């Protein structure tokens, strides 16, 4: 039970770090055609294009036509979804949690540490000047994030044993894998161009 509280505390702390940035971006009502066109064009490099466009279009005013903002926003959105999934998983009953653990490794302290480090790397990419420093920090954040996301994989063979709430967590985990794939594609496309 104490483990659940530690995870909950970490999730809330991480959410606090990004809440202002994402909330401000999400509340802006007018998006430019140019920004949306940039997002759609960038998402063509991803495996899950419609998910990419859908998850990033909300932040078009923040992203504009800036590839660095696109990558940071994609990482931030995916991390925010990871945090909310962890929060939902922390509310599962013990039996439901054990069932989920049988099908997916439980995010442990190392997972949460990697997510925290990834967030710090993203913050450093804001403070450092120059494109090479940006690439360095975002690349490091991406590696940490992908390493942590390995804990989110769920085996499809277990889906029959899940309750409705546990199936919701499973669906979110599958979605996180797709979002992570998209972030990797966006980053790789950016790295090739620069």
pLDDT tens, 132-147?
777 787 778 777 777 7
> What pLDDT was estimated at residue 52?
97
pLDDT tens, 172-193?
777 878 888 898 888 888 878 7
pLDDT tens, 54-66?
999 999 999 999 9
Q: How many domains does the structure of the chain reveal?
A: 1
Given a contact cutoff of 8 angstroms between Cβ atoms, the answer to whether 65 and 102 are in contact is no
- For the chain, give the percent of residues with pLDDT over 90: 17
0.75 surpassed by pTM = no
Is pLDDT above 50 for 100?
A: yes
Given a contact cutoff of 8 angstroms between Cβ atoms, the answer to whether 39 and 73 are in contact is no
Which range scores top for mean pLDDT: 25-34, 70-79, 84-93, 149-158? Answer: 70-79
- Residue closest to 149 by CA, chosen among 90, 92, 78: 78
> What pLDDT was estimated at residue 120?
74
Please name the residues in contact with 42: beta carbons below 8 A apart, sequence gap of 6 or more: 52, 67, 70, 186, 189
Domain that holds residue 12: 2-193
Cβ count near 27 (within 10 Å): 9
Distance separating alpha carbons of residues 88 and 165, to the nearest angstrom: 9
> What pLDDT was estimated at residue 91?
67
CA distances from 74 to 57, 93, 99, 148 (A): 10, 31, 30, 16
> What pLDDT was estimated at residue 18?
57
> What pLDDT was estimated at residue 7?
56
């Amino acid at each position: 039970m104490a483990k659940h509280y530690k995870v909950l505390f970490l999730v809330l702390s991480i959410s606090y770090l990004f809440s202002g940035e994402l909330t401000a971006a999400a509340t802006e009502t007018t998006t430019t055609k140019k920004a949306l066109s940039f997002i759609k064009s960038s998402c063509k490099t991803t495996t899950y294009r419609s998910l990419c466009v859908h998850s990033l279009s909300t932040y078009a005013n923040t992203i504009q036509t800036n590839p660095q903002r696109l990558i940071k926003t994609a990482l931030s959105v995916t991390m925010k979804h990871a945090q909310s999934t962890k929060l939902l998983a922390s509310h599962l009953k013990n039996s439901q949690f054990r069932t989920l653990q049988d099908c997916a490794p439980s995010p442990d302290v190392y997972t949460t540490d990697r997510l925290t480090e990834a967030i710090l790397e993203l913050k450093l990419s804001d403070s450092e000047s120059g494109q090479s420093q940006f690439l360095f920090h975002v690349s490091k954040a991406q590696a940490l994030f992908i390493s942590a996301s390995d804990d989110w994989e769920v085996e499809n063979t277990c889906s029959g044993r899940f309750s409705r709430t546990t199936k919701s967590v499973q669906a979110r985990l599958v979605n996180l894998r797709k979002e992570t794939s998209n972030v990797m594609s966006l980053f790789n496309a950016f790295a090739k161009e620069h």
